[in-house]
Amino acid sequence: MAEALLASDMHLDPERPEGLALFERFLGEVAAGADALYLLGDLFEAWLGDDAIHPAYEPVLDRLAALAEAGTALYIQHGNRDFLMGEALANRLGATLLPEETVVELGGAPALLLHGDTLCTDDTAYQQFRAQVREPRWQAAFLALSPAERMEQARQAREASQEAQAAMDSEITDVNAEAVAEAFRRHGVRRMIHGHTHRPADHALEVDGRPRRRLVLPQWTDRGGYIRCNEAVCELLAYPWGAKLPTSDGE
């Protein structure tokens, strides 16, 4: 039976070697042998460009490349932390970079995959920042800086983001219900899978009188979390691998 795994928000960080080790275990103990692995953004806490790879990431990149070489189809979406991942990285990994919204067949039905930040439309300050950094001219100017200069800019942006998040109502950083409904309508699907909000859940809802399902992936901290889909079911699981993941909402 075909099996696909999905994960997001690993936020791999050289300053958190335990997180790197946990994700490497996931690749070796869970993802090995899967037909496909979808990483839906924020694989890295920060990605400063394909030409500025931190040495601490090399073992994970090698494991991902080995996974793809062994036959697991590898797909990667950009997140709000690693939107500068490019074709050079994808080629090294043997991966496919997906558009920010893509529909694939999972669990016997089409599903919309996205990182999830575009659904958080109430956070207007973030949406303005997102529009700026996704602009090709901004990216070209940033990548023209030295790696040290990029690192310093990323550090400043991260500190500003943390301060803003601390002062913000948590509802603002969650998805907007109408943005979710519009995404369902836009793609004509009944299932959506995303991360970003760090609020793992399995939401049952209705849009235009039709039942829909919105699965939200967790952030990786001291435990991993992922979705496993086969032809019959999609389910949220966690470390210890295969354990049911506690969620904020359930079907």
What pLDDT, in 10s, does the model give residues 180-231?
A: 999 999 999 999 999 999 999 999 999 999 999 999 999 998 788 999 999 8
Q: Which residue has the higher pLDDT, 31 or 155?
A: 31
Average confidence score pLDDT of the chain: 93
- pLDDT tens figures, 37-90: 999 999 999 999 999 999 999 999 999 999 999 999 999 999 999 999 999 999
CA distances from 63 to 25, 32, 131, 186, 222 (A): 10, 10, 33, 36, 20
Q: Model pTM?
A: 0.94
Residue at 152 is within a domain: yes
**Residues contacting residue 88 through CB under 8 Å, at least 6 positions apart:** 50, 51
Residue at 200 is within a domain: yes
Predicted local distance difference test score (pLDDT) of residue 251: 38
Domain CATH number, residue 122: 3.60.21.10
Residue at 31 is within a domain: yes
CA distances from 152 to 51, 145, 245 (A): 16, 11, 36
Residue at 192 is within a domain: yes
Compute the distance between CA of residue 133 and CA of residue 206 in angstroms, rounded to an integer.
34
Q: Is the pLDDT of residue 146 over 80?
A: yes
Residue at 97 is within a domain: yes
Mean pLDDT lowest among 64-68, 129-133, 244-248? 244-248
Residue at 16 is within a domain: yes
Mean pLDDT lowest among 11-15, 77-81, 128-132, 222-226? 222-226
Predicted local distance difference test score (pLDDT) of residue 168: 65
Q: Is the pLDDT of residue 166 over 80?
A: no
Predicted local distance difference test score (pLDDT) of residue 192: 98
Residue at 250 is within a domain: no
Predicted local distance difference test score (pLDDT) of residue 241: 86
Residue at 251 is within a domain: no
Instruction: List the domain range (segments joined by +) for residue 74.
Output: 4-244
- The secondary structure of 190-250 as a DSSP string is SEEEE-SS---EEEEEEETTEEEEEEEPPPPSSS-EEEEE-SS-EEEEETTTTEEPP-SS-
Count: domains in the chain: 1
Q: Is the pLDDT of residue 2 over 90?
A: no
Residue 223: both structure tokens together: 């435990």
Residue 201: how many CA atoms within 13 Å on its side-chain side?
14
